[in-house]
């Protein structure tokens, strides 16, 4: 398929911009381009066909089963989109007088109050633009908290080896030293390993619970108590909140700061389709350090703030979508989401465990991890082979090779929005692939056969990316 720039022909074009409804302003000559921007020249028909073709080559939640572990790719109700498009939300400007946007400010307050109740926190900021951005913001709260107490010796953040890769990256960006601790045989935090690294230099702990192998740590209150006794703070990575929201609160587990991926648990656009929102909540003793928002006059009382991490209140329309989701489900619906997410994951896990046993025994939460290490040893079929073959069968592959503590890992998260029929179909697909791996392993090495792209060179793509078209 040609790029839109390759289809460009000089002289072609169309008018797709609406009429200007404000007085035109001239650009100073010193700021004007010396030559026209290199935009593609196509008529509207060609543009429409180009993007329709691109859309047909992509795969999303609306196309089929999308069990991407650790990323909660649930279906997003369209009513959320309709509400976010209301002119009262889209036609505002962040520099408008506050008295003219009281309804929008009410939405922010409403969403914050609901999320505080769900997470067990006292204050919430919507400034961070994504989950990892929220992690960095939360750790900057840690830093400012210790500084405010004159405790400059706390320089280390403890992170289990099952953590999301963004955790150590965020801690390093915030200026902390990362201390990695191994997981126990049950996939949970090794208490002995934790105790061995706690000390006067501990700034805090970052933890996901349920963790990345889909297990709720039974020792969670003991873990957070130990960190508090050592003088550190506890950070909750909210990536897996989908499994527990409305049932158990991070604040009640002993966490001081959380980030919530509105684009995961609360049904807003996700990933590269963002913008997202990594809302950060905290206990009241950390609230003075939250990011500033609003105008300079409005932040006069936020002298201890870490400052702004993004403009104004972040991606406001994302919060509108999340608020619509929360209002639609209500207090009774939110825990039902979590229960159904857990039920669906356990249903699918049990359907396929005969061929694909989970890496850790016992009921899982919203996701489970299987290892095909034995299948690779006996038939040479890897997790990558299984993932690619699933694409040929109309299914988005699960996350693979993560977490790192499981060899040849496939992490499956069906979410609460899938039907029993879909899960049954997925189970049949997994089981049929196992049979094929035993009888015709070579066919899986060649997969995918029906997708636009086969097996790109992942290493070259990561180390020598070509992200820009040059004509």
Helix axes 383-392, 420-439, angle to 10 degrees: 120
Predicted confidence (pLDDT) per residue in 215-257, tens digit: 999 999 999 999 999 999 999 999 999 999 999 999 999 999 9
Residue 384 has what pLDDT? 96
* Residue 239: both structure tokens together: 């990536």
Predicted confidence (pLDDT) per residue in 72-91, tens digit: 899 999 999 999 999 999 99
Report the range of poorest mean pLDDT among 13-22, 57-66, 279-288. 13-22
State the pLDDT confidence band at 452, using cuts at 50, 70 and 90: confident
Predicted confidence (pLDDT) per residue in 400-431, tens digit: 999 999 999 999 999 999 999 999 999 999 99
* Residue 110: both structure tokens together: 């409403």
Core vs surface per residue 234-272: b (16+ CB within 10 A) or e: bbbbbbbbbbbbbebbbbebbbbbbbbbbbbbbbbbbee
Average pLDDT over residues 443-466: 90
Output 102 or 462, whichever has higher pLDDT.
102
* Residue 26: both structure tokens together: 């001239």
- Residue 349, phi-psi category: left (phi > 0), alpha (psi -120 to 50), beta (remainder): alpha
Report the range of poorest mean pLDDT among 47-61, 264-278, 335-349. 264-278
- Altogether, the residues listed in the chain come to a count of 471
Output 20 or 370, whichever has higher pLDDT.
370
Mean pLDDT of the chain: 93
Output 21 or 296, whichever has higher pLDDT.
21
Q: How many CA atoms lie within 13 A of 123 on its CB side?
A: 16
CA 356 to CA 399: how far, in whole Å?
Answer: 15
State the pLDDT confidence band at 273, using cuts at 50, 70 and 90: low
Q: Return the domain boundaries, the chain.
A: 1-13+39-52, 78-326
Cβ pair 235, 142 in contact under 8 A: yes
Residue 90 has what pLDDT? 96
Q: Which residues pair with 156 in a beta bridge?
A: 177, 202
Average pLDDT over residues 116-142: 96
Cβ pair 339, 325 in contact under 8 A: no
> What is the distance in angstroms between the CA of the first residue and the CA of the last residue of the chain?
16
Bridge pairing between strands 257-261 and 233-237: parallel
Tell me the CATH architecture of domain 78-326. 3-Layer(aba) Sandwich (3.40)
* Residue 437: both structure tokens together: 């791996």
Residue 349 has what pLDDT? 98
CA 406 to CA 320: how far, in whole Å?
Answer: 38
Cβ pair 113, 269 in contact under 8 A: no
> Count of CB atoms within 10 A of residue 213's CB?
24
Average pLDDT over residues 27-44: 92
| Residue 176 pLDDT exceeds 60 | yes
Q: Max Cα separation, the chain?
A: 72
| Residue 297 pLDDT exceeds 60 | no
Residue 203 has what pLDDT? 98
CA neighbor of 258 nearest in space, from 275, 244, 274, 269: 244
Residue 360 has what pLDDT? 94
- Helix (H) and strand (E) counts in the chain: 15, 10
* Residue 137: both structure tokens together: 């913001």
What Å distances lie between residue 461 and 129, 426, 467, CA to CA?
26, 30, 10
CA 300 to CA 181: how far, in whole Å?
Answer: 41
Q: How many CA atoms lie within 13 A of 357 on its CB side?
A: 7
Cβ pair 159, 180 in contact under 8 A: yes
Predicted confidence (pLDDT) per residue in 180-208, tens digit: 999 999 999 999 999 999 999 999 999 99
């Amino acid at each position: 398929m040609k790029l839109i720039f390759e289809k460009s022909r000089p002289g072609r074009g169309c008018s797709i911009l609406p009429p200007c409804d404000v007085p035109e302003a001239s650009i100073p000559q010193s700021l004007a381009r010396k030559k026209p921007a290199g935009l593609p020249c196509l008529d509207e028909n060609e543009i429409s066909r180009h993007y329709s073709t691109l859309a047909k080559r992509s795969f999303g939640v609306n196309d089929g089963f999308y069990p991407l572990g650790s990323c909660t790719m649930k279906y997003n109700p369209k009513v959320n989109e309709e509400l976010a498009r209301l002119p009262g939300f889209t036609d505002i400007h962040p520099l408008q007088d506050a008295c003219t946007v009281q309804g929008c400010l009410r939405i922010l307050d409403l969403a914050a109050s609901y999320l505080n109740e769900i997470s067990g926190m006292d204050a919430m900021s919507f400034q961070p633009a994504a989950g990892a951005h929220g992690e960095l913001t939360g750790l900057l709260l840690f830093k400012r908290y210790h500084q405010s107490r004159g405790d400059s010796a706390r320089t280390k953040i403890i992170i289990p080896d099952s953590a999301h890769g963004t955790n150590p990256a965020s801690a390093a960006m915030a200026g902390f030293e990362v201390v990695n601790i191994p997981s126990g045989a049950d996939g949970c935090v090794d208490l002995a390993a934790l105790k061995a690294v706690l000390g006067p230099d501990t700034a805090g702990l970052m933890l996901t619970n349920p963790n990345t192998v889909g297990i709720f740590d039974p020792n969670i209150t003991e873990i957070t108590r130990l960190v508090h006794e050592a003088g550190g703070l506890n950070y909750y990575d909210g990536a897996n909140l989908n499994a527990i929201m409305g049932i158990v609160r991070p604040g009640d587990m002993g966490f001081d700061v959380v980030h919530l991926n509105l684009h995961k648990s609360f049904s807003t656009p996700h990933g590269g389709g963002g913008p997202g929102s990594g809302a950060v909540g905290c206990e009241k003793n950390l609230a003075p350090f939250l990011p500033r928002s609003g105008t300079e006059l409005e932040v006069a009382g936020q002298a201890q703030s870490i400052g702004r991490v993004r403009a104004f209140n972040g991606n406001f329309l994302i919060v509108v979508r999340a608020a619509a989701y929360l209002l639609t489900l209500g207090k009774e619906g939110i825990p039902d989401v979590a229960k159904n997410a857990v039920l669906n994951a356990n249903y699918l896990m049990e359907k396929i465990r005969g061929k694909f046993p989970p890496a850790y025994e016992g009921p899982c939460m919203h996701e489970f991890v299987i290892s095909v290490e034995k299948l690779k040893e006996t038939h040479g079929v890897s997790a990558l082979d299984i993932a690619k073959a699933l694409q040929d069968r109309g299914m988005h592959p699960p996350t693979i090779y993560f977490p790192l503590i499981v060899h040849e890992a496939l992490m499956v998260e069906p979410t609460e929005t899938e039907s029993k029929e879909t899960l049954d179909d997925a189970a049949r697909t997994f089981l049929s692939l196992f049979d094929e791996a035993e009888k015709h392993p070579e066919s899986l090495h060649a997969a995918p056969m029906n997708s636009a792209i086969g097996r790109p060179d992942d290493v070259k793509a990561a180390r020598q990316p070509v992200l820009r078209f040059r004509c």
